[in-house]
Amino acid sequence: MEAQAPTGNQDRRRGGARRQRGFTLLELLITLTITTIGMLGVLSLHLSVGRGNDSAARSAESVTVAKDTMEWLRSLRYPDMLAALGNIAPALGTPVTVTLPTSAGRAGMTYRRQVVVTMLSSDVATGSELIRLRVEVSWTEDGAARVAGDGFSGGRFDHAMAFEFLRTNREAL
């Protein structure tokens, strides 16, 4: 009687060489877990970059609001500027804060505007006055509650920026 060659099942039972025919369930689960962890990292990076871009866009928009306000004040004659700010009469060294109407930005963002006027010098003999105007713009991140107060108190989600310029009542200067 001739000996038959062992079949695949008989070969495995005898401890012979085993051919792999695919991936085991454990290998697939490990691969899926590693891929999921990697994708979560990529998603986190994507969200972080998106927030950074949004924050930069808000800051750039606030600069535009502040510059527009500043240029509007600079374009007015001195008495018209004081009238536009509520007919203020600043005293020497005492700042006067004027709250302007809010400015609407893109995506419904609201920017609060204030102007702080401080008289730096006053010469009674020549009738000249030198004032400093500080244009402040503040905003609160989307979905955050503003800290109570003037909006410039620096809560975690409150942001503010400012420009200053000097102005005199001498129109030629």
pLDDT tens-digit series, residues 38-81 = 999 999 999 999 888 888 899 999 999 999 999 999 999 988 99
Cβ-count burial of 54 within 10 angstroms (0-12 exposed, 13-18 middle, 19+ buried)? Answer: middle
DSSP 90: P
pLDDT tens for 94-112 read 899 999 999 988 888 889 9
In a domain, residue 79? The reply is yes
Average pLDDT value for the chain: 83
Q: What are phi and psi of 82, to 5 degrees?
A: -65, -35
- Range from 9-23, 87-101, 137-151 carrying the lowest mean pLDDT: 9-23
Query: Would you state the pLDDT for residue 65?
Result: 94
Q: What is the mean pLDDT of residues 123-133?
A: 85
Helix (H) or strand (E) holding 58: helix 25-75
Residue-number span of the structural domain to which 102 is assigned: 33-168
DSSP secondary structure letters along 4-39: PPP-HHHHHHTT------S--HHHHHHHHHHHHHHH
Distance CA 113, CA 15 (A): 83
Question: Residue 2: is its pLDDT beyond 80?
Answer: no
Query: Would you state the pLDDT for residue 89?
Result: 83
Query: Would you state the pLDDT for residue 124?
Result: 77
Q: Which amino acid is at 116?
A: V
In a domain, residue 5? The reply is no
- Work out the percent of the chain whose per-residue pLDDT is above 90: 45
Q: How many structural domains is the chain composed of?
A: 1
Question: Residue 34: is its pLDDT beyond 90?
Answer: yes
In a domain, residue 22? The reply is no
Does the pTM of the predicted model rise above 0.95? no
In a domain, residue 67? The reply is yes
In a domain, residue 10? The reply is no
- Neighbouring C-alpha atoms within 13 Å toward the C-beta of 76: 13
In a domain, residue 51? The reply is yes
Query: Would you state the pLDDT for residue 158?
Result: 84
Q: What is the mean pLDDT of residues 84-103?
A: 89
Question: Residue 9: is its pLDDT beyond 80?
Answer: no
